[in-house]
Amino acid sequence: MTLAELRTAVRYLAKELQTDSGTLLESDNVLLDFFIDSATELVTLDLVELMPEVFLSYEDLDLTVAVNYTDPDAEFLQIWALQENTSDKSPRIIPYLDIPAEQRAQYVGQTGADPKWFYTAGNRIYWIPTPSESKTDYARLWYIGAEAADVATGGPTLIPRMGHKLIVFQALILICAMDGAETTRWEKLYGYFHTRLVSIYHNRIQQQPRFLRGATQAPEDLDPTIYDTSPFFE
């Protein structure tokens, strides 16, 4: 559905046409678009949990010498995988490292040509150890993306076409909640459409069985007798 179609659907179901006297949803669409944008974000969050592959995309990241982080251009909700993207080599997974484990992974000021781990702070990717040279498109970030903050004229780009009506129902829920009106009927419609949609998309790949992925082992690269600053080795 385009943005215009979303607006029309919400107006008709809410019985708030822009030509009506004293209408809540005025013809400038400012308030209406706020509810549509908000509903789109809520629908995205609802769907990602059970059908993340639909929102999957990637971005190639560069390394900059002596800079221990990279800022992706894309806004991501989840990281699906971060892989070394070197030509003629298999796409090696770069493991994620919790900050408390950093003392076992590197010493202060350590550098290396190829980062062995990464951690995140906000939307920023930090490398361990700090890159010792610059590399273009060194890593491929597979991420679960989000719709744009403002729904484009052509409509949502990630939410499947059959899920666009969820935006309409969610917008109506928000509008009714703000206006003190009953929301139950819209919640029921939203729940029915949501259940039917994710029941298909949740198991979209039918070619072969799929299983849970294993955990990544914590790093043990540094000799704790040399680099560990905890009292145990003092």
pLDDT in tens, 210-223: 766 656 666 666 66
Q: What is the dihedral of CA 76, 97, 115, 129, to 10 degrees?
A: 120
Q: What is the 3-state secondary structure (H, E, C) of 122-160?
A: CCEEEEECEECCCEEEEEEEEEEECCCCCCCCCCCCCCC
**Does residue 153 share a domain with residue 42?**
yes
Has residue 226 been placed in a domain? Answer: no
Of all helices (H) and strands (E), which one includes residue 167? helix 164-179
Number of domains composing the chain:
2
Domain that holds residue 31: 3-51+149-201
Beta-carbon count within 10 A of 214 CB: 6
Of 113, 145, 177, the domain-final residue: 145
Cα–Cα distance for residue pair 136/129, rounded to 1 Å:
17
Query: Taking the model in full, what pTM does it have?
Result: 0.82
Cα–Cα distance for residue pair 73/78, rounded to 1 Å:
14
What's the pLDDT tens digit per position in 21-36? 567 777 888 999 999 9
